[in-house]
Amino acid sequence: MQLDRIVNFHKTIGDKTRIRIISLLKEGPLHGQAIAGKLGLKPPTISHHLTKLKQIDIVYQRRDKNTIYFYLNKDKLERMALEITRIGGNEMSEKFEITDGEKVKVIRNFIDGNGKLKSLPAQRKKKLILLEYMLRGLEHGKTYNEKEINEHIQQYHQDFATIRREFVMAHFMYRQDGIYELNPVEMWPV
Amino acid sequence: MQLDRIVNFHKTIGDKTRIRIISLLKEGPLHGQAIAGKLGLKPPTISHHLTKLKQIDIVYQRRDKNTIYFYLNKDKLERMALEITRIGGNEMSEKFEITDGEKVKVIRNFIDGNGKLKSLPAQRKKKLILLEYMLRGLEHGKTYNEKEINEHIQQYHQDFATIRREFVMAHFMYRQDGIYELNPVEMWPV
DNA sequence: GCGCTAATTAGATTATAATCTAATTAGATA
DNA sequence: TATCTAATTAGATTATAATCTAATTAGCGC
């Protein structure tokens, strides 16, 4: 749910230690012990906070020999921070809940009893309904590598390459350096 | 402290109920019972959350007859949300802590034993040091009415009008509709 | 002043989470 | 394989805070 993601982001940021970590990483990557040292806390504590920061995807890590360096994802931080200003008005419209009569009909026609996609409709409008349907479970703001996207699509159809391409072409998601992410709903096709 | 304000903002926002309240108020003001009804919670609970939202200044209230309407301060919300993206790098430089040798000397020369300002230096550079010194205790992001500003200045000097004008002219703070607020540090004079 | 309505405060309960020590895991190097 | 270092996990302790009921306060209208 969209709401939970925003709540979780702020809950995570709303901690002195974690903001201090963010502040440190803003200057450049650091390894765990270094952070612990600078903040006067024990390594397990830092580990604890870093996993939380990784969960919301604003910190990522890269290993070099024995030590793991932690990086701040500044772009993501900025995008997430702004989301609170964009939420609501009409009480959190759940884009993924397809209850609209027409849509339900189209989906019933093209999804079989096992939840698999029979075929992708040629008609643009119907195709978009199916594509949107198959996005369920993917989260806004989260990043996925190609393998994850493929696996997700295979729930519905074995030809993940085609459908993945359709996702991008229809602007449901975008790709950069092999990393996929959902586009904001404003960019989705009508 | 600057850090605490940011932590507190996110700690406050990082709660599902409070975000739902923000989402509701985005469409327009509501009174307490209405919020309680829409969210399926008891009035005391709403009261509890509203005081928190008022504390960080993103909700304010206006009474009409017997009922109090709560308003969302959208501008403030947006400004606060962005602050996290601007913090740090060099570990939270405390602009109010004047330890720099030259500054200390100037301050000793113009502040008497009781902490009062003897006179405002004519020399621009020295004047700025004193003005900045007299900002201590005012918080970034908080709004003050003229009376509060005057009282603050009177700690240092009886002629609050002159000093208040200097604050604004030097871009330490700005005034809008009789409300004063500190400018972001980037706007402060060198 | 009296009663009405809406809001807040007090106090208890329960859930969440920050931090630590001790034990364990993961990788690298020799 | 044995050993070293850095990171994580487990588990306990302690602090914080969300929510409720019951009691209280604040302001309006009669």
* Residue-wise pLDDT tens digits, B103-141: 777 887 887 765 667 888 888 788 888 888 888 777 776
Considering A6-10, A112-116, B154-158, B162-166, the range whose residues carry the highest mean pLDDT is A6-10
Nucleotide nearest to B44 (CA to C1'): C8
| Nearest-neighbour CA in chain B from A174: distance (Å) | 24
What is the DSSP code string of B71-100?
Answer: EE-HHHHHHHHHHTTT--SSS---TT----
What are the chain A neighbours of B79 within 8 Å (beta carbons)?
Answer: none
Distance B56 CA to C6 C1' (A): 23
Task: Output the pLDDT for position A98.
Answer: 44
Helix, strand, coil percentages for chain B (3-state, nearest 5): 50, 15, 35
Confidence of residue A187 (pLDDT cuts 50, 70, 90): low
Could you tell me the strand order of the sheet in which A173-176 lies?
A143-145, A179-182, A173-176
Please count the other Cβ atoms lying within 10 Å of the Cβ belonging to residue B23: 19
The alpha-carbon gap from A78 to the nearest alpha carbon of chain B, in Å, equals 6
Q: Tell me the C-alpha distance between A107 and A127, whole Å.
A: 10
Q: What pLDDT, in 10s, does the model give residues B122-131?
A: 887 888 888 8
Q: Which of residues 11-40 of A touch strand D (CB under 7 A)?
A: 31-33
* Ramachandran quadrant class, A155 (left: phi over 0; alpha: psi -120 to 50; beta: rest): alpha
Choice between A116 and A89, residue whose per-residue pLDDT is larger: A116
The predicted-structure confidence for B72-102, as pLDDT tens digits, reads as follows: 999 889 989 999 998 865 444 334 444 566 7
Residues with Cβ within 8 Å of residue B146, at least 6 apart in sequence: B164, B178, B180
Residue B125 CB neighbours (<10 A): 11
SS3 B112: coil
Long-range contacts of B41-44 (CB under 8 A, 24+ apart): B41/B17
- Per-residue pLDDT averaged across B168-178, rounded? 72
Instruction: Output the pLDDT for position A184.
Output: 63
Nearest to B12 by CA among B24, B25, B2, B22: B22
What whole-number percentage of chain A has pLDDT above 70? Answer: 80
Picking from B148, B130, B129, the residue whose alpha carbon sits closest to that of residue B138 is B148
Which burial class, exposed, middle or buried, applies to A54 when counting CB atoms under 10 A from its CB (0-12, 13-18, 19+)?
A: middle
Query: Cβ contact (<8 Å) for A88 and B9?
Result: no
Chain D nucleotides near the protein (CB, 7 A): 5-11, 17-23, 26-29
Report yes or no: B171 and B160 within 8 Å, Cβ to Cβ: no
What's the average model confidence in pLDDT over A49-69?
90
> Across residues A42-56, what is the average pLDDT?
93
A113-118's contacts with Cβ under 8 Å and 24+ in sequence apart are A115/A155, A115/A156, A116/A156, A116/A157, A117/A156, A117/A157, A117/A163
Asked if B15 lies within 8 A of A7 by C-beta distance, the reply is yes
Chain A contact set for B23 (CB, 8 A): 87-89, 91-92
pLDDT of residue B20: 94
Chain B residues with beta carbon closer than 8 angstroms to that of A20: 3, 92
A165 vs A174: CA distance, rounded Å: 10
CA nearest B44: which of B32, B60, B53, B31?
B32
Q: What is the mean pLDDT of residues B149-175?
A: 77
Query: What's the pTM?
Result: 0.58
Nearest CA to CA, how far is A83 from chain B (Å)? 9
pLDDT at A1 over 80: no
